[in-house]
Amino acid sequence: MKLLLRLLVGALGGLSATGPMTIVMILLHRILTARHKYSLPPREITVHLAEKIGLHRKLDPDARAALTLVNHFGYGAMAATLYSLIEGWIPLPAVLKGPIFGAMVWVVSYLGLLPAVGILEPATEHPPSRNFLMIAVHLIWGLVVGIFVATLLGEKKRPAGALLVGSPLPQMDRK
C-alpha cells in the first residue's frame, strides 16, 4: 500500500503541477517574437505522434487540442510518478529537489528522448528564447511537484494527519 500511495501522490502531483506550468507556458509564448511563436512542444509532439500513427488528418482542431492536453498532462503525471519514487533518497528540501528534477525532465526529454525517437529536434537547435521558456516552466512544474509530494507524503507521517492518516484522537466533523 505504501508504494501505491506514493505512486498516486506522484501522479496527482504531476497532474496538478502541469496546470500552472501550462498557464505560464502560454503566457510566455505570447511575449515571444513573431518568428518564434510557432506551436509549443506539447502540440508539436502530439501532432507528430498523430502523423506517425496516421491519425493527424482524422482529428479536427478541437480533437488535436484535447489530445495535446491529454498527452501533456499524462506526461507530467508519469514524470512526477518517477519523482515520487526517488525523492526520499535525495537529502534536499522539496523546494530545491523538485525544480532540479523538473530541469532533469527537460534535459532528458528535449536533449535525449524526443530527439532520439525522432519526435523533435534537440533543444540545441531551438531558439534560446524558446529554450528559456521551456526550462522556466519545467522549473515551475518541478517546484509544484516537489511541494505537492512533500506535503502529502509528509502528512502521512504525522501522528494526527489531517488528510491521509487517521488521527489517534477522536475526530469531530463540523456541523
Whether residue 166 has pLDDT greater than 90: no
67 within a domain of the structure (yes/no): no
112 within a domain of the structure (yes/no): yes
91 within a domain of the structure (yes/no): yes
Cα separation, 27 vs 16, in Å, equals 18
167 within a domain of the structure (yes/no): no
This prediction has a pTM of 0.87
Please name which of 27, 41, 16, 32 lies closest in space to residue 143, comparing C-alpha atoms. Answer: 16
Residue 1 has a pLDDT of: 55
Report which DSSP code applies to 125. G
Please name which of 135, 161, 155, 140 lies closest in space to residue 16, comparing C-alpha atoms. Answer: 140
Residue 120: domain span: 2-37+74-156
For the chain, what percent of residues have pLDDT higher than 90?
77
Q: Are 9 and 153 in contact (CB under 8 A)?
A: yes
66 within a domain of the structure (yes/no): no
How many structural domains is the chain composed of?
1
Average pLDDT over residues 86-109: 96
162 within a domain of the structure (yes/no): no
Span 15-42, pLDDT tens digits: 999 999 999 999 999 999 999 999 999 9
174 within a domain of the structure (yes/no): no
44 within a domain of the structure (yes/no): no
